[in-house]
Amino acid sequence: MKNIFLVMLIIFSFTTSFAEDDFTNEVVKSTALTQSLFMLEGAGGNITALIGEDGVLLVDDDFAQMADKLVTKLKELGGGVPRYIINTHFHYDHTGGNQVFGKTATIIATTEVRARLMSEQTLWKKQHPAIPVIGFPSLTFDQSLSLHTNNQDIRIVHFAHGHTDGDTVVFFNQGKVVSMGDLYFSGMYPIFHPEHKGRLDGVVKNLKLILNQISSETQIVPGHGPLSNKAELQKYYEMILDSIKTVRQGIKKGLILKQIQNKGINKKWESFSHGYLTTEKWIALIYSDLFPVIISEAS
Ligand SMILES: [Zn+2]
């Protein structure tokens, strides 16, 4: 039953057109990370909010239909309509609010995210037109950007070719709070999108780079899933490495996908299985990524 619920939840999170979806019962939940930083959970990807005298900064902005509820929550927390918005990547469950808040907020994203939002994209086998012009990011960067507001030196860093080509990670408080976007699905197998130039080896590389920049006290806001920390991210990283190792060994032994799936990966990773990506599908995803490389190495 729980799995069915998860499938529905995740499918709703990843498909649009949302116009026909009913957001009436969705709420925005907040968790305080520091006096001024909050993790917000609505209908789409997780949001990080920095609230202070200089105005509100958001990392990601959910679906457009959640904008009013989001502002109500920000007001409850002492803020108001956002002044700055950072898009961690273009997926519509993270950028829907752009078309509402773009009238007044400066929207910041990588060059890749802006380009994708400005043109038709395919996500989960569905075509999505360009978003309205008002929602286009107005400030773009290629590698990194620093933003100084509300007594914070915020580092906004491009980690390319993990979940998508335009992934951005945001570091607050010298790395004590980090917003990772969909580079991190806490407690779940990772998802990467080859159709948006995401790659498994990019996920591995970028996770390692981030692990090197955070401490045991760091609070991590994942793209989806509950608030997390370095120990959990480390476990996630090890799970990915171990899964890759198992599948690689299977391919090298000449096993076909079904045989590798039947053998499975270490049982201790089973808790990462979720409605959209079961262990069987996770193995298939790794297999499809590794198989062409191993075959070309062997030939
Ligand atoms: Zn995504």
Mean pLDDT for each consecutive 10-residue tract of the chain (299 residues)? Answer: 40 45 92 97 98 98 97 98 98 97 97 98 93 98 97 97 97 93 97 94 98 97 98 98 97 95 97 93 94 74
Find the 9 Cα to ligand 1 centroid distance in Å: 14
List, for residues 94-103, the tens digit of each pLDDT value. Answer: 999 999 999 9
**Beta-bridge mates of residue 156:** 145, 170
Find the 117 Cα to ligand 1 centroid distance in Å: 13
Distances (CA, A) of 115 to 136, 161, 195, 275, 299: 9, 15, 15, 31, 38
Rounded (10°) CA dihedral 174, 221, 96, 30: -110
Strands 219-224 and 228-229, by their bridges, are antiparallel
Residue with tokens 């996500």: 123
The pLDDT of residue 299 is 66
Find the 184 Cα to ligand 1 centroid distance in Å: 10
Find the 298 Cα to ligand 1 centroid distance in Å: 33
Mapping DSSP onto H, E and C, the string for 88-131 reads CCCCHHHHCCHHHHCCCCEEEEEHHHHHHHCCCEEECCEEECCC
The pLDDT of residue 296 is 75
List, for residues 123-147, the tens digit of each pLDDT value. Answer: 988 999 999 999 999 999 999 999 9
DSSP secondary structure string, 272-286?
Answer: G--SSS-HHHHHHHH
Find the 299 Cα to ligand 1 centroid distance in Å: 35
Question: What are the start-end ranges of the E strands in 111-241?
Answer: 121-123, 126-128, 139-141, 144-149, 152-158, 168-172, 177-185, 219-224, 228-229
Phi-psi region of 156 (alpha: psi -120 to 50; beta: other; left: phi over 0): beta
User: What CATH superfamily classification does 2-244 receive?
Assistant: Ribonuclease Z/Hydroxyacylglutathione hydrolase-like (3.60.15.10)
Find the 91 Cα to ligand 1 centroid distance in Å: 5
Find the 183 Cα to ligand 1 centroid distance in Å: 8
Distances (CA, A) of 229 to 11, 36, 51, 151, 235: 26, 19, 22, 24, 10
DSSP state of 253: T
Contact between 72 and 47 under an 8 Å Cβ cutoff? The reply is no
Find the 163 Cα to ligand 1 centroid distance in Å: 7
Find the 121 Cα to ligand 1 centroid distance in Å: 13
The pLDDT of residue 28 is 97
Find the 162 Cα to ligand 1 centroid distance in Å: 10
Instruction: Show me where the domains of the chain are located.
Output: 2-244
* Residue 107: HSE in the Cβ half-sphere, 13 Å Cα cutoff: 27
Find the 152 Cα to ligand 1 centroid distance in Å: 27
Distances (CA, A) of 65 to 68, 83, 98, 122, 171: 7, 19, 11, 21, 28
Find the 53 Cα to ligand 1 centroid distance in Å: 31
Find the 52 Cα to ligand 1 centroid distance in Å: 28
Find the 182 Cα to ligand 1 centroid distance in Å: 5
Find the 126 Cα to ligand 1 centroid distance in Å: 14
Q: Does the reported pTM lie above 0.85? A: yes
The pLDDT of residue 124 is 87
Find the 151 Cα to ligand 1 centroid distance in Å: 30
Q: How far apart are CA 97 and CA 183, in angstroms?
A: 20
Residue with tokens 């904008």: 67
Find the 264 Cα to ligand 1 centroid distance in Å: 26
Find the 273 Cα to ligand 1 centroid distance in Å: 18
Find the 195 Cα to ligand 1 centroid distance in Å: 12
Q: Is the C-alpha dihedral spanning 12, 103, 179, 207 positive or negative?
A: positive
